[in-house]
Chains A and B, each alone.
Chain A
Amino acid sequence: MVTRRSIVQGMVAGGTLLTVAPGFAVAMTGGERRFVFIFLRGAMDGLSAVPAYGEPRFKALRGELADGSPGEGTPFDALKLDGLFALNPDLPTLHKLYGAGELTVVHAACHGYRDRSHFDAQDAFDRGTVDKSFRDGWLNRALAYLPPRKEGDLAMAIGPTPPLSMRGDVAIASWVPAEGEGLDPDTIVRLAELYRPDADLGPNFEKGFKAEAMGRAMADGGKDELTSAQARGFIKQARAAAGFLRDPAGPRVVTMDFGNWDSHASQNVRFMPGQQSAGGYQGRFAELYIALDRGIAALKEGLGSEWANTAVMVITEFGRTVRINGNRGTDHGTGGAGFLLGGAVAGGRIIADWPGLGEGKLFEDRDLLTTTDLRALCKGVLREHLSIADGALETIFPDSRAVKPLEGLIRRRA
């Protein structure tokens, strides 16, 4: 059994260890809180996102997947966080947020699920439990504890169907980026007339076309040279999400899915500036990091003054193998990395009860050991950011009494 030591590693002064003050209280003043949940599906490689470059065995284990250490002078040096950890070179915005105290890294983390199936792991995370008899999601259960809205839905899923985390009894809005030219306004008006009498569809027709018009306006305006439609789509969705979250009548909780992180092969292929193929191709997985980074930048920019009230949780279903595999990629693993960021976040630090990469330290001699249960992060965010009471957390995450919420995640309000 792993004993939790709950060490919070500070970024300041060469990795001084700080412990979080107990009894953190949430003050409910200032603007309404916003929460964004970004699920990186396919298993982001935690040691690529947040390399532990200070580990003696790091380069040996990672082979050509290891980026340059901070300051090493390679074309792709990792961005220094402290003496042990750095960020992927394609995450400059996240690095800036860390410096500004608005980003917390959670490392060596995974949730309660311990097998290596994407499908099962994602479902278990979304359900908030490995118990398959639950058919609704943790975030939807959490919504039930938030003050209901008079007008408009409290939460919105970006994407054609809500993820399992958002399914359940509480009604939510959903939105997908429009393509093509859309309907002409005259036809929309005529259709609206026909839809009005339909009790189920009428309200959604109006909601849908309103969101569509807003989203269209908000998603526009970005130029991205990325070749992957998925990467471009994520940035577009982030831009639109910011608009929805800023809208006084808009949602306060938004989920975004960002897929394709399953890097079994050619994980670190990058094209140097000047030798890109058409369209400025950066390499398939590099593009995902770039899009994540730019998407976060778009969220911050779009949220404007509401950024101060926002927390964004970025997680994935599990980590990947520590060692490079035969295809210059990594296979399904266990412990990984996640981020909590935003103006409301008490960041600038790394939460990791770091198990190390030394001989005999790896889980089943292949994966990063999990020492932090991500449900502790979710619970901490729900408690401190959305003011959900402790009792409710056990309903939202069944059978998780042993998993204590992380503390001190969110800034106290003045």
Chain B
Amino acid sequence: MSIEAATATNRFGMGAGAGDIERAGRDPRGWLLGQLEPRRTLSAEFKGLPSSTEIRAAHWHRYGEASPTLNRRLEALQAKGDAAAVEAASKDVQRMLGGYVMWATQVAHTEFAARTRHALGTDRPFEERLVRFWSNHLVVPTAKVPATILVGAYEREVIRPHAAGKFRDMLTASAKHAAMLTFLDNDTSIGPNSPFGRERKMGLNENLGREILELHTMGVDGGYTQADVIALATALTGWSTAPAILRANTAYASALLLPQRAPDGPYAFAFYPDWHEPGPVKMLGKTYADEGVRQAETMLADLAKHPATARFLAQKFARHFVSDDPSESLVKRLADVYLAHDTSIGAMARALVESREAWTPEKRKLKQPEDFVISALRGVGAEVAALPPYPAYRFDTYRPPPGARLPSGDRVASAGGMVGGMAGGMEGGMAARDPAMADAAGEPRRRRRTARGGTTALVPSELYEELGKMGQKPFGAPGPQGWYDRVSDWSGAASLVKRIEWSAELAQSRANDLPEGPRMLDAMLGGSATAELRRAVERAATREQALTLILASAEFQRR
């Protein structure tokens, strides 16, 4: 058996299921390079999922608008001193808050389910690895609730289309996406000398500008200065969303809402010229004239093709796939190819596949928990249940009257309906059968699996929790730097024990439906399995123990 076929599926892919190693085996490099060709159709798993603008519209309806309205009503009742009415109104507010947070979690579960199902079923696992790598590079994590509802859409809209395309395009799309703009606070960054900034005495937020330089492009040692950070942040003033919400100091009450101005349509990116700091800026020695939104666009394009960026990306890319400390020659080759091909990620990926260093039989990297779980599920042929494309919101306590015009300009179809195109056939229906919803409704927790056509599928919300216990909550990176990516970041004892125990549970539930140990070993690790592991699997006391030994082994944890 060829070791390279196993390497192709494990090191570059999402792990091998039945027949994968044979498929890759004829031409492992060709199998990988074929996946860099543009995809013609959208994966079925993502069809029907709402866009970020649709999600933001719903968010607005449920929260952005409901929160101040309900709170104002409560305050008015408190002023009147009607105790019973205050009681009822404050319950409404609580239900609204609780329902909102629950709904946000369900949106994340839905996106997680779709993304996991796609990773389990795809015949382009290398492409999926690129998606996940870049998703982590330009990361928007779920740390803030308003970002929680957008992380999945962000990945679908910003990362997937460009995963093998031009980094420049991905970078620009990222900096213009509502998820990134709100996560790194640029949506409320205002030029102090802009008309709006003068009037309201508001100013710059340099968060996005800084992270673009430090984390997205040049890297912390890339040679930029604080003045460059200010220059980029200044040029980015006015890059916001429609509608923009200028948060007041309180967490939930009285957000200051701005008039709706949405050149690119409601709930999407918006450039507000009267927030934009007038005048030229100078970054890395070059002066950029004030051309409105073009100013920062030009700067981002220049940053994407800066040699420091090429180096930083090449190093991170090689570290992810090859080893914690890739050779200088490999990093240089990847950086050169990236620059020679107009910031092409695809070209860089091709150069990686064509390098010798990436194919060493020694497995120097460790799978991160989410990749480990997916590879194990692919290995045993497990399925994850699909969730309804849009979770129902069952705790609405605020409903705009029928026919009311929402800030987006949409009309409310009917009382109880939802905004615009996302009207809710989902309410009740499928969502009521969703196990995550059953949990939310307070049913006692127990291990459940939903039946799907003879086999059993895992429950997404449970898998989501399991990953949290392994230290990698889906979409839950610790900060704008993303998940750490060295072996030592993931070899910790607690997370390792969790992964091993989870392997044993999976083996317990699956082993009896699967071929015997040695055949499973061939399917999952092929020629890359060591003689020691093969012997241990052959000598296992039971089929279940054999499968546990494979999934839990250091060899399977590595790639």
Does B251 touch A at the CB level, under 8 Å? Answer: yes
Assembled-state Cα–Cα distance A390/B298 (Å): 48
Does B406 touch A at the CB level, under 8 Å? Answer: no
A162's closest neighbor in chain B, by CB? B492
B249's closest neighbor in chain A, by CB? A116
Are the C-beta atoms of B90 and A208 separated by less than 8 Å? no
Max count, chain B CB within 10 A of own CB: residue among A157, A325, A331, A366: A325
Q: Give every chain B residue within 8 A of A326 (Cβ-Cβ).
A: 71, 74-75, 78, 90, 93, 253
* Proximity bits, A116-128, B CB within 8 Å = 1, else 0: 1001000100000
Does B370 touch A at the CB level, under 8 Å? Answer: no
Are the C-beta atoms of A160 and B495 separated by less than 8 Å? yes
Q: Give every chain B residue within 8 A of A157 (Cβ-Cβ).
A: 494
Contact A198:B497 (CB < 8 A) given known A161-B471, A164-B478, A264-B252: no
Report B370-415 residues with CB < 8 Å from chain A CB. Answer: none
Does B143 touch A at the CB level, under 8 Å? Answer: yes
**Chain A: interface residue total (CB-CB under 8 A):** 52
Assembled-state Cα–Cα distance A264/B549 (Å): 47
B-contacting 9-mer, from A93-101, A143-151, A185-193, A218-226: A185-193
Does B255 touch A at the CB level, under 8 Å? Answer: no
Contact of A160 among B93, B479, B494, B500 (CB under 8 A): B494
Main secondary structure of the interface of B (DSSP, over half): helix
Does B250 touch A at the CB level, under 8 Å? Answer: yes
Are the C-beta atoms of B536 and A331 separated by less than 8 Å? no
Are the C-beta atoms of B251 and A331 separated by less than 8 Å? yes
Contact A194:B553 (CB < 8 A) given known A116-B251, A135-B481, A331-B251: yes
Report A168-190 residues with CB < 8 Å from chain B CB. Answer: 171, 173-176, 178-180, 182-183, 186-187, 190
A159's closest neighbor in chain B, by CB? B494
Are the C-beta atoms of B495 and A161 separated by less than 8 Å? yes
Does A328 touch B at the CB level, under 8 Å? Answer: yes
**Chain B: interface residue total (CB-CB under 8 A):** 56
Contact of B554 among A135, A159, A195, A212 (CB under 8 A): A195
Report B438-480 residues with CB < 8 Å from chain A CB. Answer: 468-472, 478-479
* Proximity bits, B491-525, A CB within 8 Å = 1, else 0: 11111111011001100000000000000000000
Are the C-beta atoms of B468 and A194 separated by less than 8 Å? no
Contact A205:B532 (CB < 8 A) given known A180-B501, A182-B501: no
Q: Give every chain A residue within 8 A of B497 (Cβ-Cβ).
A: 176, 178, 208-209, 211-212
Q: Give every chain B residue within 8 A of A174 (Cβ-Cβ).
A: 492-495
Are the C-beta atoms of B549 and A190 separated by less than 8 Å? yes
A123's closest neighbor in chain B, by CB? B479
Does A60 touch B at the CB level, under 8 Å? Answer: no
Are the C-beta atoms of B496 and A191 separated by less than 8 Å? no
Q: Give every chain A residue within 8 A of B252 (Cβ-Cβ).
A: 264, 331
Are the C-beta atoms of B94 and A194 separated by less than 8 Å? no
B122 to chain A, nearest CB (A): 28
A364 to chain B, nearest CB (A): 7
Q: Give every chain B residue within 8 A of A123 (Cβ-Cβ).
A: 479
Q: Give every chain A residue within 8 A of B78 (Cβ-Cβ).
A: 326
Assembled-state Cα–Cα distance A363/B555 (Å): 57
Are the C-beta atoms of A119 and B500 separated by less than 8 Å? no
Contact A183:B504 (CB < 8 A) given known A116-B249, A174-B493, A194-B554: yes
Assembled-state Cα–Cα distance A200/B487 (Å): 8
Q: Give every chain B residue within 8 A of A171 (Cβ-Cβ).
A: 488
B478's closest neighbor in chain A, by CB? A164
Q: Give every chain A residue within 8 A of B344 (Cβ-Cβ).
A: none
Assembled-state Cα–Cα distance A123/B71 (Å): 30
Q: Give every chain B residue within 8 A of A59 (Cβ-Cβ).
A: none
Q: Give every chain B residue within 8 A of A135 (Cβ-Cβ).
A: 481
Max count, chain B CB within 10 A of own CB: residue among A186, A190, A195, A211: A190
Report B221-278 residues with CB < 8 Å from chain A CB. Answer: 249-253
Max count, chain B CB within 10 A of own CB: residue among A164, A171, A327: A327
Does A202 touch B at the CB level, under 8 Å? Answer: yes
Are the C-beta atoms of A364 and B554 separated by less than 8 Å? no
Assembled-state Cα–Cα distance A168/B346 (Å): 34
Does B284 touch A at the CB level, under 8 Å? Answer: no
Are the C-beta atoms of B493 and A180 separated by less than 8 Å? no
Assembled-state Cα–Cα distance A204/B492 (Å): 6
Are the C-beta atoms of B493 and A186 separated by less than 8 Å? no
Q: Give every chain B residue within 8 A of A178 (Cβ-Cβ).
A: 497, 501
Are the C-beta atoms of B545 and A190 separated by less than 8 Å? yes
Report B294-344 residues with CB < 8 Å from chain A CB. Answer: none
A176 to chain B, nearest CB (A): 5
Does A392 touch B at the CB level, under 8 Å? Answer: no
Assembled-state Cα–Cα distance A326/B366 (Å): 50
* Proximity bits, B56-97, A CB within 8 Å = 1, else 0: 000000000000000100110010000000000010011001
Contact A133:B220 (CB < 8 A) given known A187-B549, A212-B497, A327-B93: yes
Does A246 touch B at the CB level, under 8 Å? Answer: no
Are the C-beta atoms of B468 and A160 separated by less than 8 Å? yes
Are the C-beta atoms of A265 and B491 separated by less than 8 Å? no
Assembled-state Cα–Cα distance A366/B558 (Å): 53
Are the C-beta atoms of A331 and B250 separated by less than 8 Å? yes
B370 to chain A, nearest CB (A): 13
Does A266 touch B at the CB level, under 8 Å? Answer: yes
Are the C-beta atoms of A175 and B493 separated by less than 8 Å? yes
Q: Give every chain A residue within 8 A of B251 (Cβ-Cβ).
A: 116, 264, 331-332
A205's closest neighbor in chain B, by CB? B496
Assembled-state Cα–Cα distance A201/B553 (Å): 10
Max count, chain A CB within 10 A of own CB: residue among B74, B536, B554, B555: B554
Does B541 touch A at the CB level, under 8 Å? Answer: yes
Contact A190:B220 (CB < 8 A) given known A204-B492, A265-B94: no
B553 to chain A, nearest CB (A): 5
Does A80 touch B at the CB level, under 8 Å? Answer: no
Are the C-beta atoms of B548 and A183 separated by less than 8 Å? yes
Does B155 touch A at the CB level, under 8 Å? Answer: no
Q: Give every chain B residue within 8 A of A161 (Cβ-Cβ).
A: 471-472, 478, 492, 494-495
* Proximity bits, A325-346, B CB within 8 Å = 1, else 0: 1111001100000000000000
Are the C-beta atoms of A328 and B548 separated by less than 8 Å? no
Does B7 touch A at the CB level, under 8 Å? Answer: no
Does A207 touch B at the CB level, under 8 Å? Answer: yes
Max count, chain A CB within 10 A of own CB: residue among B74, B220, B501, B548: B501
Assembled-state Cα–Cα distance A178/B532 (Å): 29
Does B114 touch A at the CB level, under 8 Å? Answer: no
Does B533 touch A at the CB level, under 8 Å? Answer: yes
Known: A133-B220, A195-B553, A208-B494. 9 other contacts (CB 8 A): A160-B470, A194-B532, A195-B554, A204-B492, A208-B496, A209-B497, A326-B71, A326-B78, A332-B250
Closest 6 CB pairs of A and B: A208-B493, A161-B471, A174-B494, A208-B497, A198-B554, A326-B74
Could you write out 6 A-B pairs with CB less than 8 Å apart?
A: A116-B249, A119-B143, A161-B495, A197-B532, A201-B558, A328-B90
Q: Which residues of A contact B (CB under 8 A)?
A: 116, 119, 123, 132-133, 135, 157, 159-162, 164, 171, 173-176, 178-180, 182-183, 186-187, 190-191, 193-195, 197-198, 200-202, 204-205, 207-209, 211-212, 264-266, 325-328, 331-332, 364, 366
